[in-house]
Amino acid sequence: MVFRFCLFLFILCASVLTNAQDTFAYDIKVKFKGIETSKNVQLAHYYGNAQFLKVDSAKAENGIIRFKGTQGLQGGMYVIVLSPSVYYDFLISGTEPQITIEADTSDFLNTVKFTGSKENEILYNYRKYLADKTNEAMEVQKVLRTSKEPLVLDENKRKMKAMQEEVNAYIKNTVKTHQDTFAGKIIKINMEPELPMEVPLLPSGKKDSTFMYRTYKNKFFENVDFSDERMLRTPFIQNKVEKYFKDLVYQVTDSITTDADRVLRLAQKHKDVYRFVLWMMSNKYENINVIGLDGVFVHLAENHYLKNADWLDANQKAKFQERVDILKPIITGKVMPLLILQDTLGRDVNLMDIKSKYTLVYFYRYDCGHCQDHAPDLMKFYEENKDKGFAIYHAGTHETGDMKEELEKTKGFIKKYKTEKLINVLDLKLRYDFRKRYDVYKTPTIFLLDSEKRILAKSIPLEDVKGFVEFHEKKLAAKK
C-alpha cells in the first residue's frame, strides 16, 4: 500500500512538473519550408521605422523554429529574421499565448498560414488582396501605355477607376469590420484621409487653390490611434510623423514649432507615444544641418521636456536646461551676444564695433589640425570677398590658463598661416567660457552675422558661406 501511494505521488509530481515546463507566456512555432537545419533565427520587433529590437532566438530543427518564453510579449509588429536582408513580419496583439506560422519562404505571402492568430489572418488576407489587385492594375496600366485605340483606352480607364473604387471600398469595409483589432488599426493607419470631391470658390469666384492642401494637412492624422502604445513597435507612427513634416510643413522655425505642438498634443493620448514622438523630433532638430532651424530644439526643450517629461530625473532635466541656456541666446535671427576679445597688443576689440556688411566670427584653436588645414582657405575667402563687405573676426579659443603662452602660440599661428589681415583676437582676460557662451564644442566654428550683428547662420562650413549669402540677398530683394 505504501509502495502504491509513493508511486502515485511520484507520477503526480512528474505530471505537475511537466505541465509547468510546458506552460509559457508565449509559444510561437514557425514551420518554414526550405530553411536549413540548425540555422540560428532571431525574433525581434520594430521600434519606430529604423531598428529591430531582439527579443528571442532559436535554432531551426527539421524546418521548425520555436520561440517560447515565460514573460509575455508586448503587442506590436514582430519579425522573424533569417538574415539582415531576409525577414518576415507578423502581428502580436499581446493576448495570443500560442501562434503557429507555416509558409514556404520562396513565396511567403501566398503560402503563409496562421493558427491561433486572428490578427494575422486579417492582416495577410488584406495584403494578399492588395497584391492581387496590384497585379491586375499593372496589366491595365500596360494596356494604357501601349494601346493607341481610343475605345480600348477608354475601356481600360474605366476598369482602372472601378478597380480603385473596389479597393477603397474593400479597405474601408475591412477597417470597419475589424475596428476593434490591432490588425484593423494597422490597416487604418496606412489609409489616406478622405478629401472632398470639389474645391470651394473664394469670394472672388476663383477656386481656393490651397483648400485641398489645408484639408489634407488637417485630416492627415485622423487614421492614427496615438492612444495605442503597440504602435510604437511598428514603423507606422514614425513614418506618418516624418511624412507630415517632410511634405506638409513649411521649413521655418515658427511653422515647425506650431506643427510640432499640434502633433505632440495628439501624441499625449499615451505617455510612451508622446515620449517617443518628442524624442523623434528633438533628435532631428538638435542635429539638423538646415541653417536657421536651431530654435526648434530650444522650443521643444522649453515647452515639452522641461514641462511635461516626468520620466526625466533631476540631472537629466538640468542638462536640458543647460542646453537651453546655451542655445537660446544664439538662435538664428538674434543679435550675437556681447563679445569683447583682445588683439595681440592687449587692446579690447568689441565685435559690435566692426563696421561691415557681413562679419564672420571664426572660432579656432592654434593647435587644431582642422584649423591649420583650413587657414589657407580662410585667407583665400577673405581676399576674394573683402571688397564685398566681409570682415573676419578671427577668435582664438584658449586651451590653458597661461595667457602668456596662449598669446605666443597665437602669434605663431598668425605668422605661420599669414592671417595678419584678419581681425586676430583672443581672450587674454579670460572672460569667456566659449562652450557655454557660444556653443563652441569643436573648431573651427563659424557664425555669419549681418551688419547689425544678427546671426544669419551658425556652424556653417566656410565653403557654403558665399552661396548662403547670395541666397539671403535674393530673399531680401524679393521682399522689396
pLDDT tens by residue, 154-186: 999 999 999 999 999 999 999 999 999 999 999
Residue 12: the pLDDT is 40
Residues in the chain, overall count = 480
Q: Are 176 and 183 in contact (CB under 8 A)?
A: no
Measured CA to CA, the distance from residue 477 to residue 336 in angstroms comes to 24
Confidence of residue 5 (pLDDT cuts 50, 70, 90): very low
Residue 22: the pLDDT is 59
Measured CA to CA, the distance from residue 94 to residue 116 in angstroms comes to 12
What cell does 141 get?
496600366
Across the chain, how many H-helices and E-strands are there?
16, 15
Written as one string, the DSSP assignment of 444-475 is SEEEEE-TT-BEEEES--HHHHHHHHHHHHHH
- Global pTM reads 0.87
Measured CA to CA, the distance from residue 101 to residue 88 in angstroms comes to 11
Rounded percentage of the chain residues whose pLDDT exceeds 70: 95
Residue 356: the pLDDT is 96
Question: Tens digits of per-residue pLDDT, 183-236?
Answer: 999 999 999 999 999 999 999 999 999 999 999 999 999 999 999 999 999 999
Residue 233: the pLDDT is 97
Contacts of 75 (CB under 8 A, 6+ apart): 91, 92, 93, 94, 95, 182, 230, 233
62: left (phi over 0), alpha (psi -120 to 50) or beta: left
Question: Tens digits of per-residue pLDDT, 315-374?
Answer: 999 999 999 999 999 999 999 999 999 999 999 999 999 999 999 999 999 999 999 999
Measured CA to CA, the distance from residue 124 to residue 130 in angstroms comes to 10
Question: Tens digits of per-residue pLDDT, 413-441?
Answer: 999 999 999 999 999 999 999 999 999 99
- Report the candidate in 144, 118, 19, 349 with the shortest Cα–Cα distance to residue 126: 118
Residue 1: the pLDDT is 45
Residue 477: the pLDDT is 87
Confidence of residue 287 (pLDDT cuts 50, 70, 90): confident
Contacts of 311 (CB under 8 A, 6+ apart): 271, 275
* pLDDT > 80? residue 141: yes
Question: Tens digits of per-residue pLDDT, 28-74?
Answer: 999 999 888 889 999 999 999 888 999 999 999 988 999 999 999 99
Q: Please state, as a whole number, how many other Cβ atoms lie within 10 Å of the Cβ of residue 475.
A: 9
CA angle, residues 443, 321, 333, in degrees to nearest 5? 60
Distance of CA 75 to the CA centre of its chain: 22
Kindly report the average pLDDT of the chain as a whole number.
Answer: 92
Residue 23: the pLDDT is 76
Measured CA to CA, the distance from residue 349 to residue 404 in angstroms comes to 18
Residue 478: the pLDDT is 86
- Range of lowest pLDDT (208-222, 268-282, 396-410, 456-470): 396-410
Residue 16: the pLDDT is 40
- Report the candidate in 86, 78, 74 with the shortest Cα–Cα distance to residue 32: 86
Confidence of residue 465 (pLDDT cuts 50, 70, 90): very high
**What burial class does residue 122 get, using C-beta atoms within 10 Å of its C-beta: 0-12 exposed, 13-18 middle, 19+ buried?**
buried
Rounded percentage of the chain residues whose pLDDT exceeds 90: 87
pLDDT average, residue stretch 394-403:
86
Q: Please state, as a whole number, how many other Cβ atoms lie within 10 Å of the Cβ of residue 304.
A: 21
Contacts of 211 (CB under 8 A, 6+ apart): 199, 200
CA angle, residues 15, 19, 22, in degrees to nearest 5? 140
Residue 403: the pLDDT is 87
Q: Please state, as a whole number, how many other Cβ atoms lie within 10 Å of the Cβ of residue 14.
A: 10
* pLDDT > 50? residue 458: yes
Q: Are 305 and 320 in contact (CB under 8 A)?
A: yes
Sheet arrangement for strand 26-33: 64-69, 26-33, 98-104, 113-115
What cell does 96 get?
495570443
The 3-state DSSP class for residue 340 equals strand
pLDDT average, residue stretch 393-417:
91
Residue 24: the pLDDT is 84
- Report the candidate in 460, 435, 430 with the shortest Cα–Cα distance to residue 446: 460
* pLDDT > 60? residue 13: no
